[in-house]
Amino acid sequence: MKRLPWFAWSGIFHSAWVYAIGTPVQLDPPLGLPPLSIPAANPLTREKIDLGRRLFMDRRLSHNNTMSCAMCHVPEQGFTSHELGTAIGMQGRSLRRNSPTLYNIGYHLSLFHEGRELHLEDQVWGPLLTKVEMDMPSIGYVVEKVRLLDEYKGQFEAAFGGPVSAERIGHALASFQRTLISGNSRFDRWFYGDDKSALNLREQKGFEIFMGKGRCATCHWVDEKTALFTDHKFHNTGLGWERSMFPERNNYKVQLAPGIFVQVMGALLKSFEPPQADVGRYEVTLDTKDRWAYKTPMLRNVAITRPYMHDGSLSTLEDVVEFYDKGGIDNENKSPLLMPLKLDSEEKTALVAFMNSLTGDNLEALTRDARSAPVTLPVLSKDAADLYMDAVLAAP
């Protein structure tokens, strides 16, 4: 894996100096993961991580106090949501894409499915300010609201040596998210740890297919000493193209209750919200070659981060293998790396078995750690903007 020169890292909110406040934290990468690059302008400290955890879990970070980061990135559900294909935001507004897992998010070189954001420190402002997500009215509103909440009194001073600011909110949240590292899976112990009994024969066969006939490693890279299972690039598999070009189907298989399914005619649903347009990476680059291309996801912990694909349209790993076995969906921009695989039933089973071996050994600990922060705390007696105006108008 190439490393970016972190000294070149910059963002709109970032100061140039290195904070010398707080208790330094060294993240030791578990087996199978490379060292995590930490931006020089935002070194990890215990105080920032604790503050970021609190912000991450706090539902008051949304305009109407109902949504936190953790409501879509649920700790118990692999820091994604098992219950939704595509996410739901403020007042039930529809998002276009699946909530990505945050495991190992600190290793990503770009953020969001189409890679529109570059740094964790800046990424937070997308969900916070987007109307369909947390719907905060403005950056200043967020800063003022956090400043007014009792539970944050003194916390920013302890972490940063100064009061709440937009930059510090981003730094704290980024610091916490960088701690969501998970490795030392059975695969790691087998491949990098020389524990030959860590994978059974079927799983080993699955790895062989992953690296060879299955062509998975073409995009989900495995290096000699570590593996992030991504090339950090954007590919058109055809799924996004099909969703855009044929957004409605004639009928849908719908589960009414466990084991009870019906075929519902698409015409019955015409009175409801139509699918939203989504052209993937093209929305960032405006380059037609990037139409319907989405970032290669990391596969670590893939067994517990369902549903799959950028739109959460595939429920199981078996569905994913079937999709790629067919070579994706043909379209003008489909990645040339995709082609029919002609895997037999045993090969598909082995491939899924291998992917099930990628689960890290610390997931319960990460969940417990996240849940150590409170979720619901007293809301402000008045709106933050009103309290601000009351204060400035009362000032001499």
Partner 1 sequence: MIQCKNRFSRKILATALSAIVASGMTALPATSLADETSCSPFTPLIKGQEDLVYVWTLGVEGVGDGSDKLVTVDVNPKSRHYGKVIDSLSVGGRNEAHHVGLSDDRRFLWGGGLDSSHIFIFDIYSDPAKPKLVKIIKDFVEKSGGIVGPHTFYATPGRMIITGLSNNKDHGGTTAHVIYNNKGEHVKTVHIPTAELNGVKGDGYNYDVAINPKKNAMLSTSFTGWNNYMMDLGKMVKDPEAMKHFGNTSVMWDFKTMKPLKIFNTPGAPLEARWNWGKGQDFAVTTAALTSKVWVYMQDNKGEWQAHDVATIGNPADIPLPVDISMTADGKGMWINTFMDGSSRYWDFSDPLWPKEMFKKKIGSQVNMVSQSYDGKRVYYTSSLLGNWDKKGQDDEQFLKMYHWDGKDLKLGFEIDFYKEKLGRAHHMKFQARDMKSLKPLHAEAEGLDNLRVVLNAASAQ
Please pick, from the candidates 315, 342, 386, 391, the single residue that binds partner 1 as defined by CB under 8 A: 315
**Smallest distance, partner 1 to C-beta of residue 91, A:** 6
336 upstream amide cis, omega within 30 of 0: no
Report if residue 71 touches partner 1, rule: CB under 8 A: yes
Q: How many other β-carbons are positioned within 10 Å of the β-carbon of residue 93? A: 14
Report if residue 307 touches partner 1, rule: CB under 8 A: yes
> Closer CB to partner 1, residue 339 or residue 379?
379
Please pick, from the candidates 7, 20, 83, 396, the single residue that binds partner 1 as defined by CB under 8 A: 83
Q: How many other β-carbons are positioned within 10 Å of the β-carbon of residue 314? A: 19
Report if residue 62 touches partner 1, rule: CB under 8 A: no
Stretch that binds partner 1, among 45-53, 75-83, 121-129, 289-297 (CB under 8 A): 75-83
**Smallest distance, partner 1 to C-beta of residue 95, A:** 10
Angle of the 46-57 helix axis to the 363-371 helix axis, nearest 10: 80
Report if residue 74 touches partner 1, rule: CB under 8 A: yes
Q: How many other β-carbons are positioned within 10 Å of the β-carbon of residue 144? A: 16
What track of x and - describes contact with partner 1 for positions 234 through 273 (by CB under 8 A)?
------------------xxxxxxx-x-xxx---xx-xxx
**Smallest distance, partner 1 to C-beta of residue 252, A:** 5
**Smallest distance, partner 1 to C-beta of residue 247, A:** 10
Task: Give Cα 19 distance to the centre of its chain.
Answer: 27
Stretch that binds partner 1, among 104-112, 281-289, 304-312, 339-347 (CB under 8 A): 304-312
Within the chain, what is the greatest distance between any pair of CA atoms?
79
> Closer CB to partner 1, residue 26 or residue 381?
381
Phi, psi (5° rounding) for residue 236? -95, 110
Residue type, 249: R
> Closer CB to partner 1, residue 102 or residue 341?
102
Spatial CB neighbours of 221, under 8 Å, sequence gap ≥ 6: 1, 227, 228, 229, 230, 231
**Smallest distance, partner 1 to C-beta of residue 110, A:** 26
Segment 333 to 392, residues that bind partner 1, using CB under 8 A: 375-379
> Closer CB to partner 1, residue 17 or residue 272?
272
Please pick, from the candidates 15, 23, 64, 200, the single residue that binds partner 1 as defined by CB under 8 A: 64
Question: In the structure encoding, which two tokens stand for residue 252, read together?
Answer: 């849908």
The footprint of partner 1 (CB under 8 A) covers: 59, 64-66, 71, 74, 76-77, 81-86, 88, 91-92, 94, 252-258, 260, 262-264, 268-269, 271-273, 275, 306-307, 312, 315, 375-379
